[in-house]
Amino acid sequence: MKSKLKPYIINTVAIIFTYVILILLMQTGIINSYYEGIVISIGINIILATSLNLATGYLGQLALGHAGFMAIGAYASAICTSMMNLPDLLQLIVSILIGGIFAGIFGILIGIPALRLKGDYLAIITLGFGEIIRVVILNMKITGGARGFRGILPLTSFNSVFWITVIIVLIIYTLINSRHGRAIISIREDEIASEAVGINTTYYKIFAFSLAAFFAGIGGGLYAHYYTVLDPASFGFMRSIEILIIVVLGGMGSLTGSIVAAIILTILPQLLLDFSDYRMLIYSILLIIMMIFRPQGLLGKTEFSLTKLFKITPNNKERSE
Amino acid sequence: MALLETKDLGINFGGLRAVGDFNIKIEDNQLIGLIGPNGAGKTTVFNLLTGVYLPTEGSIYLNGENIVGKKPYEIVQKGISRTFQNIRLFKDLSVIDNVKMAFHHKMNYSIGAGILRLPYYWKEEKEIHEKALDLLKLFNMEKLAYATAKNLPYGEQRKLEIARALATNPKLLLLDEPAAGMNPQETNELMKTIHFIRDKFQIAILLIEHDMGLVMGICEKIVVIDYGIIIATGTPEEIKNNKKVIGAYLGE
Ligand SMILES: Nc1ncnc2c1ncn2[C@@H]1O[C@H](COP(=O)(O)OP(=O)(O)O)[C@@H](O)[C@H]1O
Ligand SMILES: [Mg+2]
């Protein structure tokens, strides 16, 4: 029982430590509001990348429309906030949940036709979906069309992003290490074998995919209430690809990989702001180098583990590697 | 009532009648061999029984219930599990995780309980962890529990696939050429293991074997098919002396 608790204690300490450090750096002004924005972007990108990892890394279904779900979440939550008047934190939580639910519903609607079949239909369908969503938003009145959606209350703060990111990552992590997560992984490994051991693969495919969409919607909601302005152009195909690049770079099937890659790929463009025209070029080169030297991504399918770093006997019940 | 009974089961692929007029009866705890030359339709029979293919005609009764049209995973849950001619493991996962997958439908904790790691999650995970180890022990594989499945020697992979199929708790186990690619000594051991499994788990086994000599030793009943049609059914003795069977094998 004791050794079961140890990883929890270590990870809880690590999370609180990170939080306190960041808060201190902000209060002392070492992290100014510009850097704070980067930290918030990192959090949102972690949410987007880990959720896409659930669909692409763990379930094994290539999805090319994650920005579409993000957009649905962003607009739905922004509209929600504009129509309600709750206390700030509660409003943010209600709005992003509604954004997530909308995105999740679209995930189910797309997942049902695309995932009932075996094979890579999802890539094509999500690709089309992402573009359709963008065009629809561009032409709707309630979303502000091409002028964008303005005047969203700035409800997203460092605190809310930090803790929501932590919660989402933890949910995905514990899910993946439960029987339901095993079922999801089995589909990636061999869908026919998965069915042959009694797993309802269609159900788990749709579940994992729509949960990924739900979290992407929440990411979008946080984004909306941080930037306060939404422009349909920022949810295009390239955004989906950027999220995918984070996942591939970090390792398909590694949450810690996605986190590390999200940090790197959020900071890097800021450092290279002068070269912003070449951002996609830099990404591409990075990817090519990666594919040559480390095709499985930074961490492959393994997780970076503090517990292991401190040489604590791993709990056999974990899928520890 | 028989455990499994098929009535005029058949399937066409385009113009090809891969299996036709297939009538078979399997009783509880019976060990039956399904033999026939390459391409005779043996694997197709398995795919029909497990719901991978939808038959073009006929019906399949499991404990009296017609299971035609049920999804493969539903049929597993009703008690038929199988192995594949070309081993299908979860290659990148550990041996024990391969087995744990097959307990999925017997477990009860909800998605929420799994995410929140409620006591029920720990209890069930502990249970299946032990069950999986026990099963691996039966196959002398407990030392390999944390090895990656794809790194196992071929014979061990075959055994793991059988262990995994057993973990689903079947009433009827379908083994598709489990001895393929094994040397004579491994094959011998495997046949003993199969016999042992049948007695230990009290289940019926339908065993496909390309080489008819192998099954003669352990099966009490043998079904021979050729060109998708049953050409003989009987005890090993009867089959050995059946002219049609000899013809099918010599004519191969
Ligand atoms: N999905 C399929 N589509 C078309 N033909 C098939 C299919 N599955 C099996 N067949 C054909 O059915 C026949 C029987 O195949 P199979 O059952 O694999 O034989 P066996 O297992 O006895 O060697 C073969 O002629 C094979 O080509
Ligand atoms: Mg075959």
pLDDT in tens, chain A (321 residues): 456 788 888 889 999 999 999 999 999 988 888 899 999 999 999 999 999 999 999 999 999 999 999 999 999 999 999 999 999 999 999 999 999 999 999 999 999 998 887 767 888 999 999 999 999 999 988 888 888 899 999 999 999 999 999 999 999 999 999 999 999 999 999 999 999 999 999 999 999 999 999 999 999 999 999 999 999 999 999 999 999 999 999 999 999 999 999 999 999 888 877 777 777 788 788 888 888 888 888 888 888 887 777 655 444 444 433
CB contact, 8 Å: A1 with chain B? no
> What is the residue range of B97's domain?
91-168
CB contact, 8 Å: A194 with chain B? yes
Are B52 and B119 in the same domain? no
| Alpha helix positions (H), chain A | 2-27, 33-53, 66-83, 88-115, 121-138, 158-176, 179-189, 191-196, 201-227, 237-250, 255-271, 279-293, 306-309
Are B73 and B174 in the same domain? yes
Which residues form the pocket of ligand 1, taking CB atoms under 6 Å from any ligand atom? B 13, 16, 18, 36, 38-44
B215 domain residue, yes or no: yes
The residues, ordered by sequence, that sit 6+ positions from B137 with a Cβ below 8 Å of its Cβ are none
- How far does residue B210's CA lie from ligand 1's centre (Å)? 14
Of chain B residues 20-79, which have a CB less than 8 A from chain A?
50, 52, 71-73, 76-77
Domains, chain A: 2-316 (1.10.3470)
* Cβ separation A198–B121 shorter than 8 A: no
Ligand 1 atom 3 nearest Cα: B13
Are B162 and B177 in the same domain? no
Q: How far apart are CA B134 and CA A56, in angstroms?
A: 34
Are B113 and B189 in the same domain? no
What CATH number is given to the structural domain containing B209?
3.40.50.300
SS3 of B21, please?
A: strand
Q: How far apart are CA B75 and CA B90, in angstroms?
A: 20
Rounding to the nearest 10 degrees, give the CA dihedral for residues B166, B170, B176, B177: 50
Kindly list the residues from chain A whose CB atom is less than 8 angstroms away from the CB atom of residue B105.
198-199
Gyration radius of chain A's alpha carbons = 19
Are B128 and B240 in the same domain? no
Give the end of a domain, one of B133, B168, B203: B168
**ipTM for the complex shown:** 0.94
Are B69 and B181 in the same domain? yes
A147-152: long-range contacts at Cβ-Cβ below 8 A with a sequence spacing of 24 or more?
A: A148/A229, A148/A230, A148/A231, A148/A232, A149/A75, A149/A78, A149/A79, A149/A224, A149/A229, A149/A230, A150/A228, A150/A229, A151/A82, A151/A228, A151/A229, A152/A78, A152/A81, A152/A82, A152/A224, A152/A225, A152/A227, A152/A228, A152/A229, A152/A230
Are B196 and B161 in the same domain? no
Give the end of a domain, one of B168, B197, B212: B168
B236 domain residue, yes or no: yes
B119 domain residue, yes or no: yes
B144 domain residue, yes or no: yes
Number of domains making up chain B: 2
B17 domain residue, yes or no: yes
B85 domain residue, yes or no: no
Q: How far apart are CA B200 and CA A191, in angstroms?
A: 30
Atom of ligand 1 nearest to the CA of B14: 4
pLDDT tens per residue, range B72-100:
999 999 999 999 999 999 999 999 999 99
Give the end of a domain, one of B168, B184, B204: B168
Alpha-carbon separation of residue B47 from B8, B53, B73, B175 (angstroms): 16, 5, 13, 12
Q: How far apart are CA A48 and CA A61, in angstroms?
A: 16
Are B177 and B251 in the same domain? yes
Are B97 and B146 in the same domain? yes
CB atoms within 10 A of CB A291: 12
Q: Contact at 8 Å (CB) between A283 and A243?
A: no
Closest residue of B to A207, CA-based?
Answer: B111
Alpha-carbon separation of residue A126 from A69, A109, A133, A178, B211 (angstroms): 10, 11, 10, 27, 48
Predicted model pTM: 0.93
* Cβ separation B73–A192 shorter than 8 A: no
Are B175 and B164 in the same domain? no
Ligand 1 atom 8 nearest Cα: B44
